[in-house]
Amino acid sequence: MSQIDAVIFDMDGVLCHLDDDVRIGFIAKLTGHSPDFIHQAIWGSGFEDRADEGEYSAEEYLEGFGKCLQSTISRDDWVAYRKSGMTPMLPMVELATELSKSMPACVLTNNGFLLVDEIGRLFPELSLFGDRIWSSAHFGCRKPSVEIYRQTCLRLGSDPARTLMIDDRAENIDGAMSAGLKGHLFEDIENLKTFLRASEVRPSIQ
């Protein structure tokens, strides 16, 4: 039997590239603020971390995002801003599609409710996961908290010991393994395929 019966994918850095400079540049042009101001207002203030932990609903987040930037930001503006920095890794999406045919699979990302609400516009290629696209906001805690991995396995209906977490951040892999999951630190798709072949994951990985 395969040692891995379920798989959890991170999103940014695994299923898509996220270019922070591009998305911050987009919102800088929209608001007239400098990139340094935007970075401090959104990330330096702790606003984004609080959103990731589920403190704000999607609408509260959008309103707060605008207040941080001293601007009115519409949903369409925010979607355009977030999408501007996202480039899908299509070979990874194809691999995720193949794996999801033979085992439970989901996305787990440190993000707020608004991203999942708008995932159809932001990243339509992830439709393969259906309603199994979960943000940290759904669990009230962020990776690498041990609890978020335990709760994700409960939702996925998987045994943590036979569930693989694929993430591009070492601390998130450490957290998953502390929760009893298997972990793979993502560097590139060939490295991941080598890992999956060694783990005898089915279907066979070419």
Judgement on whether residues 67 and 118 belong to the same structural domain of the protein? no
Judgement on whether residues 96 and 40 belong to the same structural domain of the protein? no
pLDDT tens digits for range 143-199: 999 999 999 999 999 999 999 999 999 999 999 999 999 999 999 999 999 999 998
Per-residue pLDDT at 206? 63
Per the domain annotation, does 1 fall within a domain? no
**Model confidence at 49: pLDDT above 70:** yes
Structural domain span for residue 96 = 6-17+88-198
Judgement on whether residues 124 and 135 belong to the same structural domain of the protein? yes
Judgement on whether residues 80 and 93 belong to the same structural domain of the protein? no
Q: Which structure tokens are listed for 35?
A: 């990139």
Judgement on whether residues 114 and 192 belong to the same structural domain of the protein? yes
| Domain stops at, among 69, 84, 99 | 84
**Model confidence at 100: pLDDT above 70:** yes
Per-residue pLDDT at 82? 98
Per the domain annotation, does 204 fall within a domain? no
Judgement on whether residues 60 and 102 belong to the same structural domain of the protein? no
pLDDT tens digits for range 69-79: 999 999 999 99
Could you give the percent of the chain with pLDDT greater than 90?
94
**Residue 148 belongs to domain with CATH number:** 3.40.50.1000
Per-residue pLDDT at 204? 59
Q: How far is CA 158 from the centre of its chain?
A: 19
Judgement on whether residues 12 and 60 belong to the same structural domain of the protein? no
Per-residue pLDDT at 1? 45
| Domain stops at, among 31, 53, 84 | 84
* Cα–Cα distance list, 55 to 50, 137, 143, 144 (Å): 6, 7, 15, 18
Per the domain annotation, does 114 fall within a domain? yes
pLDDT tens digits for range 6-30: 999 999 999 999 999 999 999 999 9
Q: What is the number of domains present in the chain?
A: 2
Q: What dihedral do alpha carbons 15, 21, 26, 30 form, nearest 10°?
A: 140
pLDDT, mean of residues 37-65: 98
Per-residue pLDDT at 37? 98
Whose tokens are 């369409």? That residue is 76
